[in-house]
């Protein structure tokens, strides 16, 4: 059994140093609650209320920068494994990245493959595919926010054996006249629950909450079981929250291949070839918000 935490962070994001210290305090809370794996939000060292490279570039960090070092230190101190989003600088190139850190240090980084709207003018899209980390706590895949809209990415993680999908995210109210339903779920919660059920994996989503400059973020951080049911959350729309759930990661493999079905063997890839063919861009005809 693996205890997973999703860490919801609220404003302010006044400086990266303040946000970093805030994240470390919340990671310690997760560790005190017995978590072995903790997920922080997308770009959690900066405000998401940006529109140009000049808003992000001064705060971007290399993978040996102060934020990763701080997360490495808390991982060594507590035994946690951490998935955390930050603006990564690699030479002159910026990426919307999520690092995977363990007690022994940095284990790797995932660079967001599907960039949303104004992000395209700031970050380069990741081209490294969708890795799965084989950690002592389980087999972990990572996607970031808008990536979750692309079922192909989730299915590739399933094919490579991911038991838990960690999603640092920034869900906002842009383009959503009714951001939450009557029970306090946002649409992305249902999307994540569907991926959990359809791919028989645990899905752990960590969001921001409340106002972030001119942006309203939705909260609703949650952990979904392979049944599609919420194992923790969704969290409220405002305020910091540390949600934990005990996750039997072995359930993922067991549920994928049963006497009734096999999510890998029952696929018919010859019928899906069109998915891999490029299509002309349809931008400009209206886009949904992340």
Give the total number of structural domains in the chain. Answer: 1
Q: State pTM to two decimals.
A: 0.94
Domain-located, residue 282? no
Q: Is 145 a catalytic residue?
A: yes
Q: Is 176 a catalytic residue?
A: no
Domain-located, residue 169? yes
Give residue-wise pLDDT tens across range 9-52.
Answer: 998 888 999 999 999 999 999 999 999 999 999 999 999 999 89
**With bands split at pLDDT 50, 70 and 90, how would you rate the model's confidence at 285?**
very low
Q: How far apart are CA 88 and CA 47, in angstroms?
A: 14
Residue 178 has φ and ψ, to the nearest 5°, of -125, 85
Domain-located, residue 285? no
Domain-located, residue 256? yes
Task: Specify the long-range contacts of residues 267-274, CB closer than 8 Å, at least 24 apart.
Answer: none
Strand order in the sheet with 164-168: 132-135, 138-142, 164-168, 202-206, 222-224, 230-232
Contact between residue 233 and residue 220 where contact means Cβ atoms under 8 Å apart: yes
Catalytic residue among 44, 61, 145, 186: 145
Domain-located, residue 117? yes
Six-digit token pair at 183? 């029970």
Give residue-wise pLDDT tens across range 3-14.
Answer: 999 999 998 888
Mean pLDDT of 183-207: 97
Domain membership of residue 130 as a residue range: 2-276
Mean pLDDT of 53-68: 97
Mean pLDDT of 74-96: 98
Domain-located, residue 288? no
Longest dimension (CA), the chain: 56
Q: Give Cα 158 distance to the centre of its chain.
A: 16
Domain-located, residue 12? yes
Say how many Å lie between the first and final Cα of the chain, rounded: 32
Domain-located, residue 284? no
CATH of the domain at 49: 3.60.110.10
Residue 51 has φ and ψ, to the nearest 5°, of -135, -10
Q: Is 77 a catalytic residue?
A: no
Catalytic residue among 44, 88, 112, 186: 112
């Amino acid at each position: 059994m693996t205890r997973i935490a999703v860490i919801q962070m609220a404003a302010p994001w006044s400086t990266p140093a303040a946000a970093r210290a805030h994240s470390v305090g919340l990671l310690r809370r997760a560790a005190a609650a017995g978590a072995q794996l903790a997920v922080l939000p997308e770009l959690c060292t900066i405000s998401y209320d940006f529109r140009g490279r000049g808003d992000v570039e001064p705060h971007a960090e290399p993978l040996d920068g102060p934020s990763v070092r701080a997360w490495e230190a808390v991982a060594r101190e507590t035994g946690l494994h951490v998935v955390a989003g930050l603006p990564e600088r690699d030479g002159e190139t910026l990426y919307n990245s999520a690092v995977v850190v363990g007690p022994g240090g940095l284990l790797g980084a995932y660079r967001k493959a599907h960039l949303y709207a104004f992000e395209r003018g700031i970050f380069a899209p990741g081209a490294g595919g969708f890795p799965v980390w084989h950690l002592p706590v389980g087999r972990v895949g990572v996607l970031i926010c808008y990536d979750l809209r692309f079922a192909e990415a989730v299915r590739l993680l399933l094919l490579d054996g991911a038991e838990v999908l960690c999603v640092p995210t920034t869900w906002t109210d842009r383009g959503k006249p009714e951001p939450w339903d009557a029970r306090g779920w946002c649409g992305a919660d249902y999307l994540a629950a569907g991926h959990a059920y359809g791919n028989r994996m645990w899905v752990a989503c960590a969001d921001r909450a409340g106002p972030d400059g001119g942006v309203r973020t939705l909260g609703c951080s949650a952990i979904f079981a392979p049944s599609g049911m919420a194992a923790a959350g969704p969290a409220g729309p405002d305020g910091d929250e540390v949600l934990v759930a005990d996750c039997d990661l072995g359930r993922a493999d067991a549920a994928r291949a049963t006497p009734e079905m096999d999510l890998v063997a029952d696929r018919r890839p010859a019928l899906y070839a069109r998915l891999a063919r490029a299509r002309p861009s349809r931008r400009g005809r209206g886009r949904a918000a992340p």
